[in-house]
Chain A
Amino acid sequence: MKALAEHEDTIARVCFSAAPAAGDLEALGSVDRWKIYRRMVRARMHRVCSTALKHSKSALGDIRFEGLVDQWLAEAPPTTRFFRELPSQFVQWVLADDERAKEPAHLRDLLRYENALWKIRAEDDRDLPAVVDFSFEGVPAFNPASRFLPLEWGVDRRDDGVAPLEGALLLYRTSAFTVPCMRLNPLAAAIVRELRAAERDGRTVTDAVKRAAEDQERAVDQGFIESLSGLLEKLITRGIVRGCLE
C-alpha cells in the first residue's frame, strides 16, 4: 500500500491520463474496477462540456470534440470544485492555443459565445453596489449577468451558416432567467464597450459617449443622439444597465 498522498495522486492519474499506466492500475489493486472509476469520472466531465457547448460540439464533430476534452483532461484537468465551471475551464484551455480549434473559422467565437451563455445563466447578481437613476453625469452600472462579446463571427445565428459579424453581441439574463442576444452595430458596440470601460474606470456616461463617437469618427448630431437614445432605452429597460453608481 502506497502512502495515502501517493495513492490519491495515482487515482487522479488513472482517471485523467490519456491512457492509464499499467503500473498505476496495478498499484491501486483491481484493474477492471478502477477502469470503472476512470469511465465514471470522465463521462460526467464529457457530459457537462457537451451540454454547455453543444453547438461548438456540433461544429467540431463529435469525435474531434470528445478528443479535445480527452486532451484537456490529460494536459490540464479541472481544478475547480464547482462542477458548473468545468466547461469554462475547458474553453479557456482550448482558446489558450490557436492550434486547438482552428476549424471551422468561427469555432473560437462560438466557444466564447456558448461559454458566455453558460456563465450568464449562473452569474450571481446579488449584493451589488447601490445605484441611482441613470444619468449622463453618473458612472454607469451594468448587470453582471450580461456579457459584451466583440466577435468576428455572428455565431448567434447558425441556421444558414455563420456569417462575419460587424459590431458585437450583447448577452443578458432576463427576469425569467432566459439569455437573449442583442446584435450591436459598430456604433452601438462602441458605445457599450465605452460604457463598460467607464464603469471599470469610474468615468461618466458623457465621457463614454464622447469616446465612442471619436472611435467611430461620428459627430454627435441628431442621428447619433437618436441612435444613442434608442440603445440606452434598450439597455435600461432590459436590465442590462442597472442605473448609475451612487
Chain B
Amino acid sequence: MKTVSGIGLGLRVDMAKRFLDEQPDAVGWVEVHPENYIGRGGLYRSYLERAMERYPVVTHGLSTCLGNTEPHDGEYLARLRGFLNDVGTPWHSEHLCFGVGAGAALHDLLPLPFTDEAAATAAARIDEVRGDIDVDLAFENVSYYAPQHSEMGEDSGLEEARFCVEILERTDGKMLLDVNNVFVNSQNFGFDPKAFIDLIPPERVVQMHVAGHFVRDDGIRIDTHGTPVCEEVYELLDYTLRRVGAVPVLLERDNDIPSLEELIAEVERLNAIYERATAAHEQAVAS
C-alpha cells in the first residue's frame, strides 16, 4: 500500500485530465468521493484508474451521513466496502451531519443539534458503518450556518467541539478535522477557533481538510470550496499541525476550479506550512 502523507488534492473531473497528464510531485496523494465512482464507468472511472497508478488514494464519502436517524443502507455499504478495498484506501471518512429527511436525499450536509440523542444516534451509525467496511472510519466536522440546540455545556460557541469529543469517546473513534470548517463556524458563531482545536484529542485525528470559503455581504461565511484558502485558515492549519503532528492534509477545491498552476501553488504553500509545523511538533515532542 502506498503511504499517505503530506498534502493531498481532491480529484475532480474539471481538473483531472491536466493533473493526471502532469502528475505533479508536490501532491502526495488524492482524495476521491466513492459516490462519484461506484457503479460508474466512462471518463470518471478512467481518471480514477490513472490516479491509482500514480498516487495513494483516500476515500471521503458524501452520502453516508453519520447523523441520519435511519440505519444505513446495507446494500450500499457492501458496495462501498468493495470500492474501498479496490482503491486500497487506508481509512475512510464520512460527515457528522444529516443527509436525508422524510425519505428524501438532501445532497448537502445539514447540521446536527448538539444533543445526547444526536450523539447516541451518530455513535450507532458509526458502529454500523465500521461493521461493514474493512478500514478505519473517521468522521468529519461540518460547517454550519444556523445556531444549533445544545446540551453540551454552557453557550461558549464550543458546543460543537464538545459534541465531537463526546462521539469520539463513545465510539473510540477517529476524526477528519476540517480546519476550514472550524474557522468558518468560529466566524459565524463568534468563538476562538484555536480553542476548538485545543479540545480535540490530537491522537484521534487521522486527516485534515483545508479549503476556501465565501463571505456573504452580511458577513456569514459559507463553505463553498470555491475560492483559495484564506490567510486565517493557513494560520489555523499551522497551529493545528503543531498540536496534532504529521497527519495528511487535503486541499479541497470543488467549485470555480482554477488553473493547475494556481492549485499547485496552493499545495506548495501548504507543503511549506506542513514541513515547518510538523517539524516544530516533532521538536516539541522530543523535548
Contacts and interface: CB of A to CB of B under 8 A. Distances in A.
Interface of A: 1, 3-5, 7-13, 15-16, 28-30, 33-34, 36-37, 40-41, 44-45, 77-84, 86, 121-126, 145, 173, 177
Interface in B109-132: 110, 113, 115, 117-118, 121
B59 to A, nearest CB: 15
B117 A3 contact: yes
Given A8-B102, A41-B107, A81-B64, 18 more contacts: A4-B113, A4-B115, A11-B101, A12-B100, A12-B101, A12-B102, A13-B102, A29-B147, A33-B147, A36-B146, A37-B145, A40-B108, A78-B104, A82-B35, A82-B63, A122-B42, A124-B39, A177-B46
B105 A79 contact: yes
B115 A8 contact: no
The 5 closest A-B pairs by CB, nearest first: A12-B101, A33-B146, A77-B104, A81-B63, A12-B102
A122 B100 contact: no
A83 B62 CA distance: 10
A12 B76 contact: no
Contact of A11 (B45, B106, B117): B106
Interface in B17-53: 35-36, 38-46
B183 interface: no
A36 to B, nearest CB: 5
Of A10, A11, A28, A30, chain B has the most CB atoms within 10 Å of the CB of A11
Interface of B: 35-36, 38-46, 62-64, 68-69, 73, 76, 98-108, 110, 113, 115, 117-118, 121, 145-149, 220, 222
Contacts of B110: 11, 37
Given A4-B115, A30-B146, A36-B220, A123 B42 contact: yes
A44 B225 CA distance: 14
Contacts of B38: 82
B85 to A, nearest CB: 15
A1 B113 contact: yes
A30 to B, nearest CB: 4
Contacts of B107: 41, 44-45, 78, 83, 86
Contacts of A40: 108, 222
A204 B40 CA distance: 29
B105 A8 contact: no
A5 B69 contact: yes
A127 to B, nearest CB: 10
B104 A12 contact: yes
Contact of B105 (A10, A13, A80, A173): A80
Contacts of B106: 11-12, 15, 41
Contacts of B36: 84
A170 to B, nearest CB: 18
A218 to B, nearest CB: 36
Contacts of A33: 145-147, 220
A28 B73 CA distance: 27
Given A4-B113, A30-B147, A34-B146, A81 B41 contact: no
B108 A41 contact: yes
B107 to A, nearest CB: 6
A8 B35 contact: no
Contact of B45 (A77, A86, A126): A126
B118 to A, nearest CB: 6
A121 B69 CA distance: 34
A44 B76 CA distance: 23
Most buried by B among A1, A3, A34, A79: A1
B118 A28 contact: no
B24 to A, nearest CB: 23
Contact of B40 (A8, A16, A84): A84
B257 to A, nearest CB: 15
Given A28-B146, A44-B107, A81-B63, A4 B101 contact: no
Contacts of A83: 35, 62, 107
Nearest to A13: B102
A179 B62 CA distance: 28
A110 B106 CA distance: 27
A182 B208 CA distance: 48
Among B63, B145, B220, residue most surrounded by chain A Cβ atoms (within 10 Å): B145
A21 B237 CA distance: 41
A126 B101 contact: no
A70 B148 CA distance: 28
A228 B106 CA distance: 49
Contacts of A80: 105
